[in-house]
Structure 1
Amino acid sequence: MITNEGKFKYTCTRCTKQYDERKYWTAHYKTVHMQYKKKRTHPCVICKEQLKPALRWRHMEERHGWQAPTCPDCGKKFAYPWQVSAHQREVHNRLENLTYMCDECGAKFPSKERLKSHQIKHSDVKNYKCHKCSKAFKTITYLKQHLVRHSKVKRHICDKCGTAFVNYKDLYAHTIARHVTEKNFKCQMCPKAFKTQKLLKVHEKIHTGDKRHKCPMCDMAYVQSNNLKYHISRNHPDVVILTVKQPKLEP
């Protein structure tokens, strides 16, 4: 529709919400109202949990300890080995003149457009704002994934207890915390073991001395963010609000 001022307004036909830009209307409609006719999931070959193909590699690595098919050139991970071959043909082998290099990480690209798209990862600019809360995101993809939380449609159901969740990430965290008891990921430097590879990697930083969580008020540094929070609450209580870890915006 066009307003009296001559500006376009994109109105949702399902709930009458209005947006100034078409991309926000599209993101709203797809995440809130669009229903999928088919459940596009496949069972895990080990535990039979229903998984989306794009999330298969993460599940196999963190739940079962299987190394995901990985591109040796850029480290990108895939659900199936054939996807690695296709990726290498399309992205690496075919692109001979990689003349545009990222100043932040050294990655090379065949065009300015590809380089600019990559540099969004290093930028702090977040132009895609959520119309329901104060959060903002670097890309439209991250915004779409965030809008699912506002929809309150819980499509992801735990097959163990029936608890439903808005997204797969929350379901996975619930499954690990409530239903997984085996600790198959063992530390090579001490007797400790963990439920997931991610938890093991966090623990291994204790042995490597990777203290990346630094106090802004003194020279103390810690391996884990929780230890830094405790330090600040005990020694610098006036600045706790400035250093509390913010929720991760990008999935």
Structure 2
Amino acid sequence: MALNKRQYDELARYFEFDTWRDVNRLSTNLFILNFFVTGKEIELAEWSSSDVERIKPREEAGIPVTLSVWHKSMGKNLASISMRIHECADRAAAHRLLLEHLSFFQSPDIFQLKESKIGDVVFGNASHHFLLFARANLIVMMTNASRNLIRVDEFATKVDNYLANEPSSSVHANTPFVEPVRSMTVIKSVQHKPPAWQLNVIESPQVWYKFYAPSGDFKNHKGQLHYKPHPKVETSTLKAYAVMPGGPSVQQDLTIKD
């Protein structure tokens, strides 16, 4: 649903957007690229899914979406959770999209869960049967998908840890899969005016990617990942991971000097 400026401003006031806009609760900057799930991630133990769909946008401005339904046996009952993940251009875009999604749930029943450690920011209801959170450049929505209603926060914590944490086991890349190249592309964002760096990724349909940087900003601009170092940092050390679900992750360290 497209919001006009008046609607957007009212929504921002209602959900106190200025208090959580661009908040990063990690000690490093994280960016996730080409995310997908297979339904058999060992990090999401006890939960599995055979119903996964990744929708790639036809237009550059579109946002990739991963849809999945996850199941877990609970005694004689089967619990099911529907999960929808949007991959945005950067953290700021993810937070704006989260705010727009909250327009569907503008009621006293949906509020910010300030004591929760899930995501950079998280909203839900008192029963925790519904959660909507942002982590880095992703937003994640979880709801019950069966009559057997359960709290979704336990599963949300597993998913959030899977997204946020560096892979517990990885091997160093024999062949680099990311090439940093100086870029002079003008991006309509103060944080991403030149000089910046293009991170040219050798993409594979079997993997998705995590990038960690102690400072600076990431942005996916028209399908090209850019990194803007902090202006006061001469040398930036980044970590890149190619994540293969069910297999070892591959790590590449990047050193960028301005």
Is TM (by shorter chain) over 0.5?
A: no
TM-score by length of 1: 0.27
TM-score by length of 2: 0.26
Larger CA Rg, structure 1 vs 2: 1
Structure 1 or 2: more strand by fraction: 2
Give the structure, 1 or 2, with the largest relative contact order (CA under 8 Å, sep 6 or more): 2
